[in-house]
A and B are shown apart, each in its own frame.
Chain A
Amino acid sequence: MQAAVVTPRARQWRAYAIEAKYESVRMLRAPAFAGPFLLLPAGLYLLFGVLLFGSEVAKDPKTALFIFMGFSIMGVMGPGLFGFGTIVATEREHGLLQLRRALPAPLAAWLLAMMLMSMLFVAMVMVSMAAVAPLGHLHLTAAHILALSVVCVLGSAPFCALGFLIGSAASAKSAPAFVNLLYLPMIYLSGILFPLPKSAEWIAHLSPAYHLDQLALAAIWAPNSGNPWLHVAVLAAITVAFTALAVRRIARQG
């Protein structure tokens, strides 16, 4: 009997690194996919926070921060939800995922590579938001921007998990529709862009976007509600639960 084949740890790391490298190469070569996620949040912020309501915002720093935060969180949600949702669904449909499962490809390397790409996009979104913030009469220090970016980059994980779950179940054609079906109501019902009526505020607690919004406010010592650690726990629980469900589905059905 031949000795068991052992992959040295270095080689495993290499597999993870190469997977991440080619995931980013792939994204760079299909820039049309990333364009909307990168441009939309800052663009919408300029439209609403500067052009349309600029004079009101100038008088009310609380509203200025609310609008800025809302579009930032919206920017955090997009790459994970749409990226994972459409890529996983497409790879499943085209048989690429099946091949990955047959090959000794570590599923975690692929997931991590996609997650890093999403986080990179989120970081770029945060850079663009920070660049336009002063136009909305918002004065954030470098420390604020850094803290905010770290929270938002890490906080994109539950949206990646949610996109992953959709991608593991939907067809390539229906995945974007399902993501939109979730994305738009989630933005509205979490109250991050428009304040919810008092009677409906409890709905926001069901949305990861709300918890991330509050956590981001806490990160820059702005007024926020709820215990930050509770928000972290909710976001982590969503990430773990949805990832586990999606992995289970993929392992069983491909």
Chain B
Amino acid sequence: MTNTKIAELAAVTKRFGNVLALDNFSLAVDPGELLALLGPNGAGKTTAISLLLGLARPDQGSARLFGLAPQSMAARRQIGVMLQEAALIPELRVAEQIELVAAYYPDPMPVARVLELTGTAPLSRRPYGKLSSGQKRQVQFAIALVGRPRLLFLDEPTVGLDVQSREFVWEALRRLIAEGCSILLTTHYMEEAEALADRVAVIAKGRLIATGTVDEMRALVVRKRITCRTTLRAEELLRWPDVQTVTTDQHGLQITASNTESVVRRLLAADEDLHGLEVASAGLAEAFTELTQEVR
């Protein structure tokens, strides 16, 4: 395989009326990687996916799939798609639905294999319209896989899934990556990106604000989180240098700070009875919140 970009948005701008959905936005998926596109609601994630799928055309810039126009059949035969709001045909049974989509692809997986891979075999004879919303997501996932795609688009794939089904999907995704499939995933679940992604791209207000590995994203924000039980009051701590936020929950106080060591030293000096002290790197969730807040 060469280094051709699997999918690429180059300096695209897209407006919907007065709303600037994407602003000089560039993004590329490399072969064999899972790229997670993170961003708050309305950031432009779904618009970016729509442009790559050829469902909309950019006002400026270009969208390419495998070096081809996204509308071209040759490009579409190499992708699998799981959209956020896509109903399937309610009257068709699960296995029939999968067989129908399989017929569009040049070399699809056998239906039985897809059912097994996605844990949908017990649903195979049920009409799609009678499934729960979580089960429907599983079937949509099966449909995304059936064509043996080289690139998989997953728009919020695990929303509405229970923990077990989510694990099942994650496991299937890891297997696909191991087999060389590339995946572009949008998600609200930071843990999903942390668990799966090789690379993360953070989008806010239609602009790409950061891209890198999960660790690089975390390092971008130097924050650490301190948890402790103390008699000190939150308002007082907020006045300390280096302290950025203070919240209270069932574990006690949660403090984020840029210079953790000095804050911990001062905490211990100020409260002799302080206990339950923990210091951790900020998760991707915190990094993400901070990054997207800067553009607000």
Contact = CB atoms under 8 A, between A and B. Distances in A.
Q: Do A and B come from one complex?
A: yes
Interface of A: 1-2, 4-8, 11, 14-15, 18-19, 22, 25-26, 29-30, 94-96, 98-99, 101-106, 254
A94 B87 contact: yes
Given A102-B53, A102-B54, A95 B85 contact: yes
A122 to B, nearest CB: 21
Contacts of B106: 5-8, 11
A15 B103 contact: yes
B238 interface: no
Given A5-B78, A7-B77, A98 B91 contact: no
Contacts of A98: 55, 83, 86
- Give the size category of B's interface with A: 20 to 34
Given A1-B4, A98-B83, A254 B55 contact: yes
Interface stretch (B93-101, B112-120, B215-223): B93-101
B250 interface: no
- Give the dominant DSSP class at B's interface: loop
A149 B99 CA distance: 34
A19 B4 contact: no
B89 interface: yes
Contacts, number: 79
B104 interface: yes
B285 interface: no
B96 A19 contact: no
Contacts of B147: 103-104
B209 to A, nearest CB: 27
A105 B104 contact: yes
B96 A102 contact: no
Interface in B43-62: 53-55
Complex A-B, nearest 7 residue pairs according to Cβ-Cβ distance, in ascending order: A94-B87, A104-B76, A95-B86, A18-B103, A29-B91, A102-B53, A99-B86
B159 interface: no
B103 A30 contact: no
Given A7-B106, A95-B85, A22 B2 contact: no
B88 interface: yes
Interface of B: 1-2, 4, 53-55, 73-74, 76-79, 81, 83, 85-89, 91-92, 96, 99-101, 103-106, 127, 147, 153
B55 A103 contact: no
Contacts of A22: 89, 92, 96, 100
Given A22-B96, A26-B92, A30-B91, A104 B73 contact: yes
Given A25-B96, A102-B81, A15 B91 contact: no
Contact of B89 (A6, A14, A26): A26
Interface centre among A29, A96, A103, A106 (most CB of B within 10 A): A103
Given A22-B89, A96-B88, A96-B89, A5 B83 contact: no
Nearest to A97: B86
A103 B81 contact: yes
Contacts of A6: 106
Contacts of A104: 73, 76-77, 104-105, 147
Contacts of B74: 4-5
A99 to B, nearest CB: 4
A103 to B, nearest CB: 6
Given A2-B1, A5-B78, A103-B76, A19 B100 contact: yes
B87 A102 contact: no
A63 B114 CA distance: 61
Contacts of B83: 95, 98-99, 102
A106 B74 CA distance: 12
A25 B97 CA distance: 11
Given A95-B87, A99-B88, 20 more contacts: A4-B74, A5-B74, A5-B106, A15-B104, A18-B100, A19-B103, A22-B92, A25-B91, A94-B86, A95-B83, A95-B86, A96-B87, A102-B54, A102-B55, A103-B76, A103-B101, A103-B104, A104-B104, A106-B73, A254-B55
Contacts of A14: 103
B250 to A, nearest CB: 40
Contacts of B86: 94-96, 98-99
Contacts of A26: 89, 91-92
Nearest to B73: A104
